[in-house]
Amino acid sequence: MRTVLLTGLSFVLTGAVIGNAYYQKKQFYPSVVYITKSNPSMAMLYIQAFVFVILMGKLMRKVFFGQLRPAEMEHLIERSWYAVTETCLAFTVFRDDFSPRFVALFTILLFLKCFHWLAEDRIDYMERSPIISLLFHLRAITLITLLGILDLYFINHAYYSTLVKGASVQLVFGFEYAILLTVLFMAFVKYILHTLDAQNENPWENKAVYLLYTELVLGFIKVVLYLAFMMIMIKVHTFPLFAIRPMYLSLRGFKKALHDVIMSRRAIRNMNTLYPDATPEELQAGDHTCIICREDMLEFSKKLPCNHIFHTSCLRSWFQRQQTCPTCRMDVLQAPRPQQVPQTPPPQQQQPPQQPQMPQNLFQGFAGMPPIPGWPPQQPVQQPGTSGASTTGTPATPTTPNAPGSGTHTVSATGTHPSTTWPTAVPNMPPFMPPMFPFVMPYGGQGMPLPPTRPEGLTDEELKNMEGQERQNVEARIQWLRDIQCLLDGAMILIQQYNTVASQSSIPNINLSGTPSNNTPTDTNNASSSSREKSKESSPVVNNDRDLVKDLSDLEGATGYTAYRRNDTHLGRSNTRRT
Amino acid sequence: MAGSALRRLMAEYKQLTLNPPEGIIAGPVNEENFFEWEALIMGPENTCFEGGVFPARLAFPPDYPLNPPKMKFTCELFHPNIYPDGRVCISILHAPGDDPMGYESSAERWSPVQSVEKILLSVVSMLAEPNDESAANVDAAKTWRENRMKFEEIAAKTVRKSLGI
């Protein structure tokens, strides 16, 4: 209402000014001269021109956008304020060229800027609305073409006038329109991508990636344009204060685009290398709705180390922001190597039936001691040699076994030897440990280590993992060494058990060291010292292990880690029992 | 095919219309734009907000569900966890990642697993049990802690106001 009133008023006043001039001079030329000579009349005409510009803007808006949404309006007003402030700053730099023409050029620039912003917002809106009408397409295409032509025309004009007349305010316009052209181009690319996407029946997974790269390239162009503009302005005029804010914004935008692209690449790489594709069985087994997009997962889905399954594309866009599992928030980068998961299950599934048999066969025949209540599975190890070992009931601390080779363990007849090297073997345990516990316990908490695959049994992929200098390769090698160490420890346990049994049935012991000795304590000493030496030799491995242990402490809640912790506490308990 | 954010919002809208949780109504303000929702939340029973119907707006980011929506009550609500301008301060509405202040663990924050329904249910429980430890409206938190009678009086007033009485 107020705008209508003001517009009407300005028309009335203009009419009055012109009418007055014509009334006084009666002729066209004298009245024109009269108006241009009179300051109030000119002021009135300038205001009228301004009103015309606004009316024109409204008309254009009606033609190209229809009704503006509140968010668009808000956006527009906010940006306009900044633009007006910057224009005023620019006036101070070019106060020498100040003229009505100059003001008019700036007004046109501002006017076109507004339309660029609106076009940008409108194209973004495409993604939000389920209904995109034909009218929308028509408007978008004509608007983008029109704005593109205008931008090019003004850039061209600025370029030639700078060539002919030397550096002037046209420099600013040239750069401004070049920037606007990049904005427009971005909107155009988005429009094309959205339209293509809308035509597709299936979701288009790579759209986000294309958008990221377009943003990166255009961000780079913008930054280069602004830097060039800064340089030229400093050389020709003075420091362009008015360009600082947009320049900072474009720098920040570029940095963000770069970051996004890097994160996206990393996510894609992890996706391709680290996480296995979910098999149809796995998808059928559970709820096969992707929790990110709430749609069915029929194909293209990945399984994380925590066994949660998502769409590949959904995961990619999430990992671009954060490297955790959306469901359980497990840090997927810190997780144990997932290649292990498909590799280890076969030997494991075979082992449980074997494991309980051996100790039972061994000990049930020899030692007829009654089982200690509460710890029935564990006592066979203790019975033969350490019948005198007191069972202290102190609570276990999971950290005790984390000090390899500390030598504080009292050397009892059995049992202490592998505890020194145990922690290195622990992270090797895959997340399937909990169900194995009943079977593991007959060994006094240290389960028979899983036999690692033999070198000739390595797949090409695993071998490739061990080559090279990168962290992943080094980790793969360390893992391999750990597997070997684990196997050695297992062998030590077996020898130990053989010895304890043998000592009772007066069969000659297996001598672990070169010197002949028959008592088991020395053997265990040797065993532990040799394993200690080993851990010294591979000290980087041990260090790495500690890091790993530290890292693992962040993984509370993850399946693999709980298994590890439970294993650990259990181990601690068995240790205290032994000492 | 429409964008994934739009598809997910449409799916959630469908879900909310088919099985609406008790005391909550929510949906897009305008079916042409699924990124602006309006919600009506009933004051939970046996609390000082019982009987009230509180309107709120939800604004979804273009990359929803990777980032959380913003929620704002459009009515006056005197509550420790609602800013005086109506914005809601609950941890699941905070962008993912670790809190720079170290106040909330990342486990409490937004993740794509959350949904509009979960947000609204958390808001209902927030209405029932204000958390005066992290106050968005310090006055309200102070009144809640020190002068419960007065808090309930103000709440009763807002309830009446929300019903237009």
pLDDT tens, A101-148?
888 888 889 889 999 999 998 888 887 777 778 888 999 999 999 999
pLDDT of residue A573: 39
- Round to whole Å and give the CA distance between B79 and B86: 10
pLDDT of residue A507: 67
Of the spans A218-232, A269-283, A531-545, which averages the highest pLDDT?
Answer: A218-232
Mean pLDDT over A368-385 rounds to: 42
Bridge partners of residue B70, in order along the sequence: B59
In chain B, the residue whose alpha carbon lies closest to the alpha carbon of A121 is: B62
Over 90: is that where the pLDDT of B10 sits? no
Secondary structure (3-state) at B163 = coil
> What is the strand order of the sheet B33-42 is part of?
B24-30, B33-42, B53-59, B70-73
Question: Considering only CB atoms, which chain A residues are within 8 Å of B32?
Answer: 129-131
pLDDT of residue A575: 38
pLDDT of residue A508: 67
Residues A146-198 pLDDT 10s: 999 999 999 999 999 988 887 777 888 899 899 999 999 999 999 998 888 87
Mean pLDDT over A89-112 rounds to: 84
pLDDT of residue A533: 45
Question: Considering only CB atoms, which chain A residues are within 8 Å of B3?
Answer: 127-128, 194, 197
Give which of A245, A566, A253, A264 is closest to A437, Cα–Cα.
A566
Tell me the CB-side half-sphere exposure of residue B107, using CA atoms within 13 A.
Answer: 8
Predicted ipTM?
0.81
Question: Considering only CB atoms, which chain B residues are within 8 Å of A203?
Answer: 1, 4, 7
Mean pLDDT over A270-286 rounds to: 76
Place of tokens 């809308």: A198
User: Which residues 6+ apart lie within 8 Å of A426 measured at CB?
Assistant: A401, A564, A567, A568, A571
What's the whole-number average pLDDT of chain A?
A: 71
pTM above 0.90, yes or no: no
Dig out the tokens for A203 from the structure: 């979701």
Q: Contact B12/A294, CB-based, under 8 Å?
A: yes
Please tell me which of the candidates B8, B12, B96 has its beta carbon nearest to residue A322: B96
Rounded to the nearest angstrom, the minimum Cα separation between A149 and chain B is 30
Rounded to the nearest angstrom, the minimum Cα separation between A330 and chain B is 10
pLDDT-derived band at A448 (thresholds 50, 70, 90) equals: low
* Residue, of A518 and A181, whose pLDDT is higher: A181
Residues A474-484 pLDDT 10s: 888 888 888 88
- For residue A335, give the DSSP letter: S
Domains by residue range for chain B, with CATH:
2-163 (3.10.110.10)
In chain B, the residue whose alpha carbon lies closest to the alpha carbon of A133 is: B32
Residues of B acting as catalytic residues? 89
Residues A33-47 pLDDT 10s: 888 888 888 888 888
Q: How far apart are the first and last CA of chain A?
A: 92
B65 preceded by cis ω (within 30°)? Answer: yes
pLDDT of residue A566: 39
Contact A293, A317 (CB under 8 A): no
Please tell me which of the candidates A127, A322, A329 has its beta carbon nearest to residue B6: A127
Bridge partners of residue B50, in order along the sequence: none
Backbone angles phi, psi at B25, to 5 degrees: -125, 130
Q: What is the CA radius of gyration of chain A?
A: 39
Please tell me which of the candidates A130, A292, A295 has its beta carbon nearest to residue B112: A292
Residues A380-412 pLDDT 10s: 444 443 444 444 444 443 433 433 433 334 334
Rounded to the nearest angstrom, the minimum Cα separation between A277 and chain B is 21
Contact B40, B137 (CB under 8 A): no
Q: How far is CA A83 from the centre of its chain?
A: 34
Question: Considering only CB atoms, which chain A residues are within 8 Å of B111?
Answer: 324, 326-327, 329
A14, A20, A21, A24 alpha-carbon torsion, rounded to 10° = 180
Q: Which of B1, B4, B33 to mutate to test the interface with A (most CBs of A within 10 A)?
A: B4
SS3 letters across A69-105: CHHHHHHHHHHHHHHHHHHHHHHHHCHHHCCHHHHHH
User: Which region among A58-72, A225-239, A378-392, B77-91 has the lowest average model confidence (pLDDT)?
Assistant: A378-392
Over 80: is that where the pLDDT of A280 sits? no
Over 60: is that where the pLDDT of B100 sits? no
